[in-house]
Chain A
Amino acid sequence: MFVASRDLRFAKGRFALMGAVVVLITLLVGLLSGLTAGLARENTSAVTGLPADHLAFAAPPDGQSVSFTNSSVTEKTWTNWSARPGVESAEPIGIRTLNAASGDHTAAVSAFGVEPAAGIAPPGLAPGAAVLSEQAAQELGVTAGDTVRIGSLEQRVAAVAGDASYSHTPVVWTSLDDWQRVGRSGAGTGGEATVVALTTTAGADLAAGDEAAGTETKSLDEALTAIGSYQAENGSLQLMRGFLFAISALVIGAFFTVWTMQRSADIAVLKALGAATPYLLKDALGQAVLMLVAGTGLGALLASGVGLLIGGGDVPFVLDPPTVLVPAAVMIALGALGAALSIRRITAVDPLTALGSAR
């Protein structure tokens, strides 16, 4: 990077301008990534936090996908699954969004009904006694021992634990019997729960289990797409992020296209003097990567700073290595790809133009 590093110093205005663009795009991507992860957590943490590996949904009609809203399973379903070889546990979960109230406080909550004795139930759960997530307790202004009305049911607050939320509402854990008393599950008839949480071993034949129980089984990650709001929201945000990555690669590619064209006379001279093409490509790519690393590094730092400022408040923002470092790495990789495609024109520069070329 002999010439490239000196070009960076010499043309610092141009590179600073381009670096600023990289910083701003990285900042935007970083903030969007943190927000995407934060919103996703509010949408899905109750599902991803389940101590199970699969969820069995009621099989949807042909041509439709499974969804939490439309899924409704009966006791026969989970007893069927419990008897399958390779299934360690099959626990019903009822999920419904309800209004909860305590005194003057009201809040929309997601009621998760589970058997109190099940492995997936939080400690303290019992008939008539609910376990509230911290956010639900905060919004309702209650602590352990208080009373809260969930839908039409009066429940004692057995404990406040965890930060699980589902579809942007905090989770309240109730016993399955209480949950069933609130109303029927989903749109189906005779539903006693929404899904069955399965803990399986490697030998479990899920397809056969689905056929026998009339269900469709999804891993926890796959099951997230069954949350309607998550699918729409996450899809939109990921699309925006993808466009930002593509725009950054295009902008960087355009910059290095112009830069390489401006340098073509210098490149011709270096080639005429004996510079090998790989030497020149390495030099130019090194320059691009250096600018990208500096720009994305600063952008990621700024995004982290902004994330620290807003993350603790009402804004759903996740600040962790995947939301900061992964977008930065993708920015560098795609930017380098854009630059590489641009600087490949170095190979086409004819050293003969250096003889008699005017400067």
Chain B
Amino acid sequence: MTLTLDTVTLTYQDGDGRLTALDRVALDVPAGTMAAIVGPSGSGKSSLLAVAATLVTPDSGQVLVAGTSTGELSRAEKSALRRERVGIVFQQPNLLPSLTSAEQLHVMAHMDGRKPRQVRDRAHELLAAVGLADKADRRPHQLSGGQRQRVNIARALMNDPDVLLVDEPTSALDHERGAAVLDLIVRLTRERGTATVLVTHDRAHLTEADQVCEMTDGRLYVPAAA
């Protein structure tokens, strides 16, 4: 398994008591497959992504990313793990305003100690894969919402991650563009062999997911067929 959550529990301080965001969540996502997590707001979907991205340490349970147990990792080691093994597609594109589309990808390599010129070809290939080869020199304000989201996806794949975490990628897009973005994520998951977790409200485009899991009140219900 490329991503494994083993009976993960996460609680937050909530006034005098504690709120359970994740309740003994278990999830296995093999390479080249996509798990879709659906559920209402506040059900714990974002907490699941945050735990899988090592941005939050669970109270109990184990998170394995590409075989690495994340529980004992230092903050710097978690940063390195995210840089090298995890790609995150944010709900909003979250592109850096001063960087061009190509540079949004170059910065990923730069953070990893590589020179941008060493990764130009890969950035170009990824921008071509998301249909933006001709928009490499555009800054975010010069792109449409759908184009920004595609740069967001390409950036997440820049360091060739084992795990791809996708947070509501179509929430700011119309139906047609949302469908195109989901198709793109599915295609890239298959082609690049990532273990993809897709958090979404939109049930209309889940037919391509290998497993569709329901999240309610911090509990994850994985269908037996998955």
Contact = CB atoms under 8 A, between A and B. Distances in A.
Contacts of A358: 92
Nearest to B165: A355
B24 to A, nearest CB: 22
Smallest CB-CB A-B distances: 7 pairs: A274-B83, A10-B98, A274-B82, A2-B110, A6-B98, A269-B94, A359-B92
Contacts of B88: 272-273, 354-355
Interface string A344-359: 0000000110111111
Contact of B79 (A266, A275, A354): A275
B84 A274 contact: yes
A181 interface: no
Interface size range on B against A: 35 or more
A357 B55 CA distance: 14
A7 interface: yes
A359 B145 CA distance: 11
B221 to A, nearest CB: 22
A10 B97 contact: yes
B182 interface: no
Given A355-B55, A356-B167, A273 B97 contact: no
B92 A273 contact: no
Contacts, number: 89
A274 B50 contact: no
A7 B99 CA distance: 8
B219 interface: no
Interface residues of A, number: 27
B93 interface: yes
Contacts of B111: 270, 273-276, 279
Interface string B52-77: 01011000000000000000000110
Interface in B76-119: 76, 79-84, 86, 88, 90-99, 103, 106-108, 110-112, 116
B167 A273 contact: no
A271 interface: yes
Interface of B: 46, 49-50, 53, 55-56, 75-76, 79-84, 86, 88, 90-99, 103, 106-108, 110-112, 116, 139, 155, 159, 167
Contact of A359 (B50, B93, B112, B159): B93
Contacts of B103: 2, 6
Contacts of A11: 98
Interface string A269-289: 111111111010000000000
A273 B98 contact: no
18 contacts: A6-B99, A6-B103, A270-B111, A272-B88, A274-B79, A274-B83, A274-B84, A274-B111, A274-B112, A274-B159, A276-B80, A279-B111, A351-B55, A352-B55, A355-B50, A355-B55, A355-B91, A357-B90
Given A272-B53, A275-B83, A3 B91 contact: no
Nearest to B56: A352
Contacts of A272: 53, 55, 82, 88, 90
A105 interface: no
A336 B53 CA distance: 34
Given A269-B94, A273-B111, A352-B55, 10 more contacts: A2-B116, A6-B98, A6-B99, A269-B96, A272-B53, A273-B108, A354-B88, A354-B90, A355-B50, A355-B88
Contacts of B112: 274
Contacts of A271: 79
A6 to B, nearest CB: 4
Contacts of B95: 359
B76 to A, nearest CB: 6
